[in-house]
């Protein structure tokens, strides 16, 4: 999959060059290209923002640089995403659907937002990462890219996907590694037993308990 990320702040994306997402790029499962929107501005000072018509606080991103940047990259198989608090809330299903696309173009808004006409012309999928407002679309883009990358074949193991929180509508069971005793706290005996049926049963029960205590809404939704 190829992902183009349009932003005024390409330097803020170093997170995507570490750990699992870095490995996915090195392994060829993922190609991430950062595009500086400012390069596309036809303004002689490369300005990309202006005050809102009708008044109001802050600045808006002007439509021309964003529109031209998208048009320079868009192919028949491209799917455009605009992270926005007004979008659908990100879910595992949305991430899984995005992971099936061949080419994604993310538009990162900043300041108070972007001119509505760009959205009307490009008709992107608007996705929110939660009911709170951030200063720009950069962090939400990284959240969405990280989340969808896990669903691309070969990025993480199928087993990890099956056992994680939300995969079957409940939260994941607690996990332990070495040492067997840490600050006086021992690893639950059953996990050392080698009895896989009992371990699976214990994990299922812990997962149920945790979901009931922390997210009873997930159980009611089922
Ligand atoms: N941009 C600013 N806040 C956001 C949010 N909560 N989700 C997605 N994009 C955003």
Q: What is the pLDDT of residues 96-154, one digit of tens each?
A: 999 999 999 999 999 899 999 999 999 999 999 999 999 999 999 999 999 999 999 99
Per the CB < 8 A criterion, the answer to whether 63 and 118 are in contact is yes
pLDDT band for 220, please (50, 70, 90 cuts): confident
3-state secondary structure the chain: CEEEEEECCHHHHHHHHCHHHHHHHHCCCCEEEEEEHHHHCCCCCCCCEECCCCCCCCCEECHHHHHHHHHHHCCCCEEEEEEEEEEEECCHHHHHHHHCCCEEEEECCECCCECHHHHHHHCCEEEECCCCCCCECHHHHHHHHHHHHCCCCCCCCHHHHHHCCCCCCCCCCCCCCCCCEECCEECCHHHHCCCHHHHHHHHHHHHHHHHHHHCHHHHHHC
**Domains, the chain, ordered by start:** 2-156 (3.40.1280.10), 165-221 (1.10.1270.20)
Could you give the C-alpha distances from 159 to 18, 155, 163, 213, in angstroms and in order? 22, 12, 6, 25
53-88 confidence digits (pLDDT tens):
999 999 999 999 999 999 999 999 999 999 999 999
Indicate the pTM of the whole model.
Answer: 0.95
Check residue 222 and give its pLDDT: 55
Instruction: Please tell me the distance from the alpha carbon of residue 83 to that of residue 64, in angstroms, as a whole number.
Output: 19
Ligand 1 binding pocket mutation candidate from 114, 135, 137, 142 (most atoms within 8 A of CB): 137
For all residues of the chain together, what is the average pLDDT?
96
Residues near ligand 1 with C-beta < 6 Å? 83-85, 128-130, 132-134, 137, 140
**Closest Cα to atom 9 of ligand 1:** 84
**Closest Cα to atom 10 of ligand 1:** 84
């Amino acid at each position: 999959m190829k992902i183009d990320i349009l932003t005024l702040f390409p330097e803020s994306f170093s997170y995507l060059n570490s750990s699992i997402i870095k490995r996915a790029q090195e392994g060829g499962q993922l190609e991430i290209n950062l595009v500086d929107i400012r390069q596309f501005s036809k303004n002689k000072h490369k300005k990309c923002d202006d005050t809102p018509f009708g008044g109001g606080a802050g600045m808006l991103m002007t439509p021309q640089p964003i529109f031209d940047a998208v048009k320079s990259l868009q192919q028949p198989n491209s799917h455009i995403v605009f992270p926005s608090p007004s979008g659908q809330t990100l879910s595992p299903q949305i991430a899984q659907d995005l992971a099936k696309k061949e080419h994604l173009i993310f538009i990162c808004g900043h300041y108070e937002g972007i001119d509505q006409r760009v959205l009307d012309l490009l008709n992107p999928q608007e996705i929110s990462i939660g009911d709170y407002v951030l200063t720009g679309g950069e962090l939400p883009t990284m959240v969405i890219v990280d989340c969808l990358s896990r669903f691309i074949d070969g990025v993480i193991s199928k087993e990890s996907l099956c056992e994680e929180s939300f995969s079957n509508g409940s939260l994941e069971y607690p996990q332990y590694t070495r040492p067997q005793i840490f600050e006086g706290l021992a690893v639950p005996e059953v996990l050392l037993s080698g009895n896989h049926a009992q371990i699976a049963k214990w994990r299922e029960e812990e997962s149920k308990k945790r979901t009931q205590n922390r997210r009873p809404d997930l159980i009611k939704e089922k």
